Structure 1
Amino acid sequence: MTLPISHPTRPRAAAASSIIDTARTARRAAAALLIGLLLLGGCASIPTSGPVRAQALPDTDPETIFVEAEGPTVGASAIEITQGFIRAQAAGVNDDFRVAREFLTDARAAEWNPHVGTTVYLGEPALVATGADSAAVEQDDDYSADFVDVGGPVSLAARVDENGALTEASAGAEQVVMFRLMRQDGEWRISQVPDGTLVSQPNFTTTYRRIALEFLSADERYLVPDVRWYPVQNLAAHATEGLLAGPSTWLRDAVHTAVPDRTTLTVAGTVHVSSDGVAVVDLSSQVLNVNTEQRSVLMAQLSAVLMQVPQVRSVRLLAAGADITQTPAMLARGPSTASEVTAVVNGRLGLVTGGDFTADEHFEPLGGGQVTAVAVEPADDDALPLLTVVRRGHSDIVQAPAAGKPAANSVPLLSGNDVSEPSVDRYGWVWSSVDGRIAVASTDGREEPIAEWLAARRVTQVRATHDGSRVAIVSTGTGDDREPVLEVASVVRDDRGAPTQLTQGIVVGGSLADVSGIVWIGESTLAVLAKSSTAPDRGVYTVPLGDWSQPQPAIDNPIALAGSWDVRSLFVLKEDGSLVARSATGASWTSVLTGVAAVAYPG
């Protein structure tokens, strides 16, 4: 699909006692202010002369909701002060952590840096106060010692770094948090606390929003997402500054950007969004030095990012105040919804349409061993796929025999004792793992991309993205730690498009176990077969990059997945050879075909 990108449906958040509807509050505040001014008319006058002073208000979606925080109360216990500080951190993105600092001693408040990262937790922290002798303090408001330590374990949901990149925590992960409190002017205040913030998962997902920054593939034909979380307050400015700062370190060598070096917002932290949804992005003068084509690509990047902000409907680009808006370049973004699913039935390759299978006469019948997987090269510009491969047993991957040329079936592209399911990128390279090592081949030969961090691990699955800039990898340790780890790495290519290096990236799906059967559904989400702490049987899960894994409807004995543009495209192949698809409601699976040996979308 291509840009411009349609705007997603705006979610509505449920009301909660700790949350304020800002639109309603603003109206009430305005009414209260007017009444107050009228009541004060007898003792104070409203100025009728002198300069008019205007103060800009933040651009806020009328449906945006904020967490409310209250400062410390007189006589609060050490535990109450600590609990109040934790609650106030969720509201810090709205008040620059002003209320949160009220719970700290003056010295710590001046030094505390909340912006180095966020720990997202589940449930409520079980806090206990202990005195200098490590004994429990029950009535700590009357405790006379110099300090009190308050702490306890918290269940981890995720960690978010200083750039907004979220890593899902493993199932059952905990962290002990500890705060030291001292008396200041007779009241308990926190004197020792780590930098960074501690926020509950519900408050985090209320006050932050997931945004995919969009960069360019090496050939500048595709947008490549880099997922971050930014505060909903002033979201458009946060997202724009994230794009201007460039991609994450792990992605940097695999992508490009049309943003000129040292480009900033003309006014830091400011992207005005008008009432009719126009985001006005005023960049520094460096943008004036780029040509029209590059400026069009920059417009495409900005539009793709800012159209994820709920109130934005279009983007206007300025450079040092001068309007330089132009039509965004037409860049591809993920697989097309027109992608067709390929299957192997009764030894024939063909397409699945609805509940029917139609053999593809461009290919000879498959022979020379049991087919256990298939992969198809993605087609750019509606061209026919250039390469289709099949795995025979678990020992080799061969090119599917074209009609009239069955001999091609006998030449393995990759072979070994343990060969994983293949994936074909849009450059025509076949990805797999062979005997625990990443292997890449084309009809012209084989490549061994450098991946030093995998030297001591055994790779079991590899799957390339549609943009060709990243791969998902499942690997296990070779020692006592054999639990599979799911990572996304970037792909550095040479001028021929051949992969030469893999850069270690991000760990995803941290809460899942025994991961296998990975496919991409869109450019920033994986579907996997896995187990979890709440479901010991293998099932289907979606794993959005930089987000939490989500279970899909239960299914018996799944062995393989096929997916394309989003979760609605999913097919699941079961152990008995039956193929099922998501039902129209997404709440169950619907039978499609039987007797299926392998299934795949292009990619």
Structure 2
Amino acid sequence: MNRRLAVRTLLVAIVAVAVSACAGIPSSGPVTRVADDGDLGQSAVRYAPAGPQQGATPEQIVRGYLDAMLAFPQSTRTASTFLTAKAADSWAPSSQVRVYSQPEVSQPQAPAGSGDTGELVPGTVTVRLGFAEDAQLDRQGRYTRVAAPSAVAYTLEQVDGEWRITDPQDGLLVNEKFFADYFRSFDLYFFDRPGRRLVPDPVYLVVGDQLATNLMTSLAGGPSAAAREATRTYVPERSALRPSVPVSSRGVADVEFTDDFADLGRSSRDRLSAQVVWTLRQVPDVEGVQVLGGTTALTAGGDDTQPVQAWGGFGPSTARGRAYAVVANQVVEVDDGETRPISGTWGKDARGAQQVAVAESGVAAVLPGGAAVRLTSREGTGGRTVRGTDFIAPDWDPDGRLWLVDRPAGSTRVRVTTGSEQTTLDVGAVAGLDVTDFHLSPDGTRYALVAIDGGVGRLYVGRVLRDVTDQVRGLGDPAPVFTTAQAPRAASWASTTELAFLGDSEAGAQIYLVSIDGSETTSQVSRSGSLLPDVGADALALGTGRSQVVYVTDQRDRLWFLPPGGSWKVLDTPPVTALTIGR
């Protein structure tokens, strides 16, 4: 299961629920508490809203319509009864979701020709709904933060003496509480351009019995327009997908397409299967997947029922990240609070390294002054020196390439070194950013960086662009990542879709994690229960995976360690001059 699902229960704690009672779940409707659906941490309350009451005013109709969109299990059947028949037929509730707070429903505006008393007369009226729009989800569930005031003006007319809405908004409106209770973050899986790596694309979907269907419907929508330069899909379009993905009592999800897969090559079949299996493995109780196209069933290892553990080779490496540091001018590995020099020359003499990157592919260190990087094998052989200006910490990608970032002439430059070859990338808008941290995601498909803007650090995420031969061609445009934490710095990857970084708080610098879509910021304190002492933390090493290693250094060059289930403790080491997570 996606590692991020384990922490989604924290969403309620970091979302400010400020919903007017008029648009919340009222006490008059049938509310039923049922068993929690799986282990996604969602609310166990199901709600069937009431339809329009006889003689309801225009204002009451709008309020009832808002409430009807909060049905769970999600359904728009009742909400449609607040609309005229023509409006109900044309309404597209699945086109998007808008998340709101602080709703205000105005008094109806009397139509032209009303009497002097202002009483409503037959005809049309307008009721204005004002609200704070917190976020939007597109048709596939991709999250975009809005945080701006918004409004909808509804026109109502009388149908058989009852007021009904003639012009519903595009998509659904749900309040913050409903979003926190019933939406959870999942990943859609597409491939990079070479078709080598699965690339997760986070979306928010409603939990419940239709989760498998909703995930497949979103997956069949394909990559977003912004991602198509870097990703591709082998899954047929939504129009070819059967409308339902049932899950049997044996935990087998049945995915059917009208397209016949008989003519697909083995490579395309495998990748189509991998996308479907990796996406549906997030559904609680799904143990296997059957994929049928026309009369052709896709298989994994010759079995029509593909286990959810299949196709692991297309995912990111599951190798445990290791912490490395430069201590007393030696490159050391840090494990469970113990340090030991690595083998080879770097474990004896780190050349005064200011920053270091360690992987099976080799060791790279920024030398004193920041104008050169020394690159060798893991044992310290085959050395070469790369010159530059103001190097930041280098980074190894999963394929053994070394990425070097510096700032000649005040512009950010990114070079990729493979063996004796070196390529300067087209980095687009990254060139204009004052980059202080740059790291590749565990699968090598994205980059994250911190850039200084107005004296304050800001987080960005972008895509690594490859051609079909798997050659790195450049970087996609960086997108800012919203976070509620202050002054982010020392950023790295906590998973393929989540960043870890240091940020300021009233208790001093703490470790935070943020989803790459900016939808959720949580603190490491929430996960570990241990507050980092206010020691001026300035560097962070946090490994990916379920059992994360966490180390920081402070302004006194001390090394701090957070053992699993324990409290922070300072290690008895000489001054630490560099800290990193290596492969």
Alignment TM-score, normalising by the size of structure 2? 0.78
Distance 1:559 1:205 in 2: 33
Distance 2:98 2:365 in 1: 44
Q: Which residue of 2 aligns with 1:521?
A: 494
Instruction: Look up the equivalent residue of 1:522 and give its one-letter code.
Output: S
Select 1:386's aligned residue among 331, 336, 361.
361
Matched, 1:560 2:565: no
**In structure 2, do the counterparts of structure 1 residues 192 and 441 end up closer, same or farther at CA, with 3 Å as the change threshold?**
same
| Structure 1 residue 204 displacement after superposition | 2.0
Instruction: Look up the equivalent residue of 1:490 and give its one-letter code.
Output: R
Select 1:470's aligned residue among 421, 427, 446.
446
**In structure 2, do the counterparts of structure 1 residues 514 and 445 end up closer, same or farther at CA, with 3 Å as the change threshold?**
farther
| Structure 1 residue 518 displacement after superposition | 1.2
Q: Which residue of 1 aligns with 2:395?
A: 423
Contact 2:362 2:377 in 1 (8 A): no
Matched length = 534
Contact 1:19 1:65 in 2 (8 A): no
Distance 1:152 1:263 in 2: 34
SS at match of 2:216: helix
| Structure 1 residue 471 displacement after superposition | 0.9
| Structure 1 residue 316 displacement after superposition | 1.9
Matched, 1:352 2:352: no
Contact 1:226 1:248 in 2 (8 A): no
CA RMSD of aligned residues (A): 4.0
| Structure 1 residue 177 displacement after superposition | 2.0
Deviations 1:204-238 (A, max 9, x none): 24433322122334554432211122333522122
SS at match of 2:502: strand
| Structure 1 residue 583 displacement after superposition | 4.5
Q: Which residue of 2 aligns with 1:55?
A: none
Distance 1:200 1:461 in 2: 36
Deviations 1:327-355 (A, max 9, x none): 34441533435332211111110111112
Select 1:503's aligned residue among 463, 469, 476.
476
Q: Which residue of 1 aligns with 2:215?
A: 239
SS at match of 2:154: strand
| Structure 1 residue 526 displacement after superposition | 0.9
Q: Which residue of 2 aligns with 1:147?
A: 125
Contact 2:5 2:185 in 1 (8 A): no
Select 1:336's aligned residue among 318, 321, 327.
318
Matched, 1:161 2:138: yes
Contact 1:216 1:257 in 2 (8 A): yes
Contact 1:438 1:462 in 2 (8 A): no
Distance 1:585 1:403 in 2: 32
Q: Which residue of 1 aligns with 2:291?
A: 317
Matched, 1:542 2:513: yes
Instruction: Look up the equivalent residue of 2:94 and give its one-letter code.
Output: H
- Residue segments in structure 2 that go unaligned for 5+ positions in a row: 13-24, 112-116, 302-309, 526-530
Contact 1:447 1:500 in 2 (8 A): no
Contact 2:323 2:582 in 1 (8 A): yes
**In structure 2, do the counterparts of structure 1 residues 388 and 227 end up closer, same or farther at CA, with 3 Å as the change threshold?**
same
Distance 1:582 1:355 in 2: 8
Contact 1:529 1:539 in 2 (8 A): yes
Distance 1:264 1:440 in 2: 43
Instruction: Look up the equivalent residue of 2:502 and give its one-letter code.
Output: L
Contact 2:34 2:46 in 1 (8 A): no
Q: Which residue of 2 aligns with 1:441?
A: 416
Contact 1:10 1:310 in 2 (8 A): no
Select 1:197's aligned residue among 172, 183, 197.
172
**In structure 2, do the counterparts of structure 1 residues 183 and 482 end up closer, same or farther at CA, with 3 Å as the change threshold?**
farther
**In structure 2, do the counterparts of structure 1 residues 342 and 220 end up closer, same or farther at CA, with 3 Å as the change threshold?**
farther
Instruction: Look up the equivalent residue of 1:227 and give its one-letter code.
Output: P
SS at match of 2:345: coil
Deviations 1:236-294 (A, max 9, x none): 122223333332233333334444x5586552x22121012111222334422223454
Distance 1:331 1:72 in 2: 54
**In structure 2, do the counterparts of structure 1 residues 432 and 201 end up closer, same or farther at CA, with 3 Å as the change threshold?**
farther
**In structure 2, do the counterparts of structure 1 residues 403 and 201 end up closer, same or farther at CA, with 3 Å as the change threshold?**
closer
Contact 1:472 1:487 in 2 (8 A): yes
Contact 1:436 1:459 in 2 (8 A): no
Distance 1:358 1:572 in 2: 17
Q: Per chain length, whose mean CA-contact separation is higher, i.e. which structure has more relative contact order (CA < 8 Å, sep 6+)?
A: 1
Q: Which residue of 2 aligns with 1:491?
A: 464
Q: Which residue of 2 aligns with 1:574?
A: 554
Distance 1:275 1:570 in 2: 41
**Greater displacement, 577-586 / 460-469:** 577-586
SS at match of 1:116: coil
SS at match of 1:90: coil
**In structure 2, do the counterparts of structure 1 residues 193 and 258 end up closer, same or farther at CA, with 3 Å as the change threshold?**
closer
| Structure 1 residue 505 displacement after superposition | 6.3
Distance 1:459 1:19 in 2: 54
Contact 1:429 1:498 in 2 (8 A): no
Q: Which residue of 2 aligns with 1:36?
A: none
Matched, 1:129 2:89: no
Contact 1:581 1:591 in 2 (8 A): yes
**In structure 2, do the counterparts of structure 1 residues 107 and 255 end up closer, same or farther at CA, with 3 Å as the change threshold?**
closer
| Structure 1 residue 308 displacement after superposition | 0.3
Q: Which residue of 2 aligns with 1:270?
A: 244
Distance 1:299 1:128 in 2: 51
Deviations 1:543-583 (A, max 9, x none): 12343111222432221222222473332222222333444
SS at match of 1:114: coil
Instruction: Look up the equivalent residue of 1:291 and give its one-letter code.
Output: G
SS at match of 2:538: strand
Distance 1:505 1:551 in 2: 24
Instruction: Look up the equivalent residue of 1:147 and give its one-letter code.
Output: V
| Structure 1 residue 143 displacement after superposition | 5.4
1:80-229 → structure 2 map (5 Å cutoff): 80-91=60-71, 94-95=74-75, 97-122=76-101, 124-129=102-107, 131=109, 147-154=125-132, 156=134, 158-169=135-146, 173-185=147-159, 186-218=161-193, 220-229=195-204
| Structure 1 residue 389 displacement after superposition | 1.6
Distance 1:329 1:283 in 2: 20
